[in-house]
Amino acid sequence: MRTQVGILGAGPAGLLLSHLLARAGIDSVVLEVRSREYVQHRVRAGVLEHPTVELLREVGLADRLDREGMPHEGVSLRFEGVDHRIDFIDLVGRGITVYGQQEVVKDLIAARLAAGGDLRFEVSDVALSGLADAPVISYTGPDGARHELRCDVVAGCDGFHGISRAAYRPEVFDREYPYAWLGILAKAAPTRHELAYASHDNGFALYSMRSPEITRLYLQVPPDTDVADWPDSRIWDELGTRLAADGFTLNEGPVLEKGVTGMRSFVAEPMRHGRLFLAGDAAHIVPPTGAKGMNLAIADVRVLAEALTAWFAGGGETGLDAYSDTCLRRVWRAEHFSWWMTSMLHNSPDGDPFTRRLQLSQLRYTVASRAAATSLAENYTGLPHGGGC
C-alpha cells in the first residue's frame, strides 16, 4: 500500500491533519491502536481557544460546535472567599468555547468517513522504518494480517506513549509536579456559566462544565492518591469548602466518572526527524491548568498541513524545515503560561507559608492590574497559530 502521508493516531491532531490535507488534495491514511468507541468517548480537555474555534469554522467542522458549544467571555480567579472575574472580551476582544475533546473527535471522525477517508482502528504492533527518505509503517490489522504502508511523510500524532517519539532521540525537557488532580464528571447542572479557578488553603479547585446538564470539577490532591479514599460525599464536601464564595452555590449530583491525573510539563526538541514530524502530545505535554493541550496539537497540525501542502505542490522544503522551530515558539509560550497558572494556584505539598503568601500576592496583583489581567486573557484565549510569540 502507498499514500502520501501516513498519520499515526486518531486524536484531534491526526484527524484534523487528515482533513486539512484532504482539502489540499493530499492523500493520507490514519492508523489508530484503539477502537473507534474508545477514542470517541475518552473524556479529555474541553476548552477551545479562539484560534482553534476559528480554524474549525474555516474548514467546515464547526456546525455542532456552534450549536452545542458553550462560549465563555471570561473566567474567575477565586481566593480569600472572593470571586474576581477576568473579562476576556473587555481585555482582548475574544473569548473561548467549552466543547469536550471527545466531541471534537466525533465531529472529525464523522467528517473523515463522510469524505471517504482511510481511517483504520484497532491496529497493533506498529513499527517505523526508512524515516530518512522513504518511510514505511508496518502494522498488524484487526484481522491479524501484517501490512506495510509506504508514504512520503509520517505524522506522529500518537500521543505521549506512542511509538513516534521513540523512533529517534530528541532532547527532552521534563518536569513532574508534586500534585495531581482528582477529577469528577457529575450529572449536575452548572450554577454559573464560566470557569472558576479557586486557590484555597486546602488546595486548588476548578469549577467547569461540559454541557448545561454536566459539570466537570477538580481538586488538587497528592500524586499517589487512591480514588477509593475519596467517596463521593468527601469530594462534594471538599469542593464546597474550596469553592466557597459569596453568592455561589454548588449543585451536587450523581458522579459519572472519577479519576486522578498526574501533572507534568514535557517538550521534545526537535519535533522533526527526517520525514517524521511529531505533533500534539507526542511532542509536548502541559499541565492542564492553562487549558492548552488540545489547542497546541491543533496549532501544530495547522502549521504542518501548510508546510506539507507547499512541499507537495513543488514549493520546496522551507516550511518543513521551519516546522519544529515555528511550533516550539508557541509550545514554550504555552508551557510557561501553564506553569505560571499552576504555580500561582496550587499549594506546595509542604505547606510553606512563604510560598503561600507569594501566591496570594500574585493573585491580588493579577486581578487588580489591567496589564496583568490582559496578559492572562491574551494567553488563555490563545495566541496566533504559526508563531508570533
Residues 275 and 325 in one domain: yes
Q: What's the structural domain count of the chain?
A: 2
Angle of helix 50-58 relative to helix 293-312, nearest 10 degrees? Answer: 40
Tens of pLDDT along the chain (389 residues)? 999 999 999 999 999 999 999 999 999 999 999 999 999 988 777 899 999 999 999 999 999 999 999 999 999 999 999 999 999 999 999 999 999 899 999 999 999 999 999 999 999 999 999 999 999 999 999 999 999 999 999 999 999 999 999 999 999 999 999 999 999 999 999 999 999 999 999 999 999 998 899 999 999 999 999 999 999 999 999 999 999 999 899 999 999 999 999 999 999 999 999 999 999 999 999 999 999 999 999 999 999 999 999 999 999 999 999 999 999 999 999 999 999 999 999 999 998 999 999 999 999 999 999 999 999 999 999 999 876 56
Q: Which of the listed residues 230, 263, 296 is the one where a domain comes to its end?
A: 263
Give catalytic status of residue 365 as yes or no: no
Residues 22 and 163 in one domain: yes
Residues 23 and 104 in one domain: yes
287 found inside a domain: yes
Residues 30 and 154 in one domain: yes
Give catalytic status of residue 139 as yes or no: no
β pairing state of 276-278 and 146-156:
parallel
Angle of helix 12-23 relative to helix 293-312, nearest 10 degrees? Answer: 30
The three state secondary structure string of the chain is: CEEEEEEECCCHHHHHHHHHHHHCCCCEEEECCCCHHHHHHCCCCCEECHHHHHHHHHCCCCHHHHHHCEEECEEEEEECCEEEEEEHHHHHCCCEEECCHHHHHHHHHHHHHHCCCEEECCCEEEEEECCCCCCEEEEECCCCCEEEEEEEEEEECCCCCCCCHHHCCCEEEEEEEEEEEEEEEECCCCCCCCCEEEEECCEEEEEEECCCCCEEEEEEECCCCCHHHCCHHHHHHHHHHHCCCCCCCCCCCCEEEEEEEEEEEEEEECCEECCEEECHHHCEECCHHHCCHHHHHHHHHHHHHHHHHHHHCCCCCHHHHHHHHHHHHHHHHHHHHHHHHHHHHCCCCCCCHHHHHHHHHHHHHHHHCHHHHHHHHHHHHCCCCCCCC
Q: Tell me which of 207, 287, 380, 385 is the catalytic residue.
A: 380
Residues 107 and 228 in one domain: no
298 found inside a domain: yes
Do 132 and 274 touch, CB atoms closer than 8 A?
A: yes
Residues 149 and 15 in one domain: yes
Q: Which of the listed residues 205, 231, 263 is the one where a domain comes to its end?
A: 263
CB atoms within 10 A of CB 364: 15
Do 202 and 81 touch, CB atoms closer than 8 A?
A: no
Give catalytic status of residue 197 as yes or no: yes
State the residue for C-alpha cell 467528517.
111
pLDDT in tens, 184-209: 999 999 999 999 999 999 999 999 99
The model's pTM is 0.95
364 found inside a domain: no
pLDDT in the model for residue 388: 55
248 found inside a domain: yes
Q: Tell me which of 99, 139, 179, 197 is the catalytic residue.
A: 197
Domain encompassing residue 207? 177-263
Residues 247 and 111 in one domain: no
Residues 139 and 240 in one domain: no
β pairing state of 28-31 and 2-8:
parallel
Residues 282 and 137 in one domain: yes
Q: Tell me which of 51, 135, 287, 288 is the catalytic residue.
A: 288
Residues 163 and 250 in one domain: no
pLDDT in the model for residue 159: 95
Q: Tell me which of 19, 50, 292, 346 is the catalytic residue.
A: 292
Q: Which of the listed residues 263, 288, 320 is the one where a domain comes to its end?
A: 263
382 found inside a domain: no
pLDDT in the model for residue 131: 97
Residues 228 and 312 in one domain: no
370 found inside a domain: no
Q: Tell me which of 19, 50, 72, 200 is the catalytic residue.
A: 72
pLDDT in the model for residue 42: 80
pLDDT in the model for residue 27: 97
153 found inside a domain: yes
Residues 149 and 235 in one domain: no
Give catalytic status of residue 72 as yes or no: yes
CATH number of 241's domain: 3.30.9.10
CATH number of 38's domain: 3.50.50.60
CB atoms within 10 A of CB 120: 15
pLDDT in the model for residue 174: 97
pLDDT in the model for residue 389: 64
Do 95 and 6 touch, CB atoms closer than 8 A?
A: no
19 found inside a domain: yes
